[in-house]
Structure 1
Amino acid sequence: MSETSTLTIQVSGLRNANGNLCVALFNSPDGYPSNITEAIRLSSVLIETTPQVILFEELAYGTYAIVAFHDENGDSKLNTNFLGIPKEGIGFSGDPKIWRGVPAYEKVKFEFTPEEKTIGITMKYLL
C-alpha cells in the first residue's frame, strides 16, 4: 500500500471573486489539460479568498500535473474566444509562461513527496 498525504494547492492572482475555481489533477499526459474527465481528482469551489486553497486529501505520493481555471461565469468550462484563447483565467503547476499555448505535461509535472506538499499556482488572464 502506498503512502498518502494531503496536497495543498494555493491559487493566487484571481482577478475577482466571481464564479468558481476549478482544479484538475492528472497523473499522466492522458487527457491533460482539456479533458478533465480523465483527471484523477477534480475540485470546483466558490471563490472566497485569495489565495484560494484547495486540498486533495489521501493522495498517494507520486508524479502529477495540475491545471486550474477561473470559471467566472459558473458554466463549468474554460471559455475561449474564436481563436481558442482563454477568456477566463488559467494556471498550471510550475507556473509556466502560457503566451505560446498550453504547456506540455512534462513542463508542469511535479513530484508530490513527504517534503513537497504545497503547490502554488498563479492565475493568468490573456484577455
Structure 2
Amino acid sequence: MKKLMFVFGILIGIHQIFSQENPCELSVKVENIKSIKGSLKVAIYNHEDHFLSKEVMSDGRAIDANSMEFSFKGLGKGVYAISIYQDENDNGKLDSNFMGIPSEPYAFSNNAKGMFGPPSFEDCQFEIKEGTQEIVISL
C-alpha cells in the first residue's frame, strides 16, 4: 500500500509540473516617439492594488528610433496593464510641472487616458492567454 501511495504521489507531482501554465511572451511596441532623446521606461503590472507602484517586470533603454520594441518573457497567463514614459533628461523619474502634470511624454496600454490623474488599471488592462502576444502603444 505504501508503494502504491508513493507511486501515486509521484504521478500527481509529474502531472502538476506538466499541466502548469506555460510562460508567455509579451512584445510591447512603442510608436510615435516624437524626440529621439533620453530613454524609454516600460513597466508591467498584474494587479490593481500595485498599479503604478509595484511592477511585475520592467525595462528601459536609450531611445534610438521613433518606434521601439520591448520583449518580456516568462509572464504567466493573466490580466496585465502597462505604463510607459520617456525620461528625456535621464534623471530616473517622470518629471512634472508645479501642478503635478507630467512634463515628459507618457502612455498606457490600450492607449488609455486619465482625467485628473492616470487612468485606472481597469482602463489599461489586457489579457495574456498563451504564446506570444503583441501590444502596440502610442507615446
How many residues in Structure 1 have an aligned counterpart in Structure 2?
120
User: Of residues 104, 119, 122 in structure 1, which corresponds to 2:138?
Assistant: 122
- Hey, what does 1:27 align to over in structure 2? 46
Letter in 2 for 1:9: V
Q: Which residue of 2 aligns with 1:41?
A: 57
What TM-score do the two structures reach when normalised by structure 1? 0.87
The residue number in structure 2 matching 1:60 is 76
Identity of aligned pairs, percent?
30
Secondary structure (helix, strand or coil) at the match of 1:117 reads strand
Distance 1:60 1:115, change over 3 A: closer
Q: Which has the higher helix share?
A: 2
Which structure 1 residue ranges, 5 or more long, are not aligned? none
CA drift of 1:5 comes to 2.1
TM value normalised by structure 2: 0.80
The Cα offsets for residues 32-62 of structure 1, whole Å up to 9 and x where unpaired, read as: 22x2xx1010111111223110110121121
* Aligned pairs (5 A) from 1:53-92: 53-92=69-108
Aligned partner of 2:22 in structure 1 is 3
CA distance in 2 between counterparts of 1:44 and 1:53 reads 11
Q: RMSD value over aligned CA atoms?
A: 1.5
Counterpart selection for 1:16 from 8, 24, 35: 35
Once the two structures are TM-superposed, the CA of residue 90 in structure 1 deviates from its matched residue by 0.5
1:100, distance to aligned residue in structure 2 (A): 4.2
Unaligned runs of 5+ in 2: 1-19
* Deviant stretches of 4+, over 4 Å: none
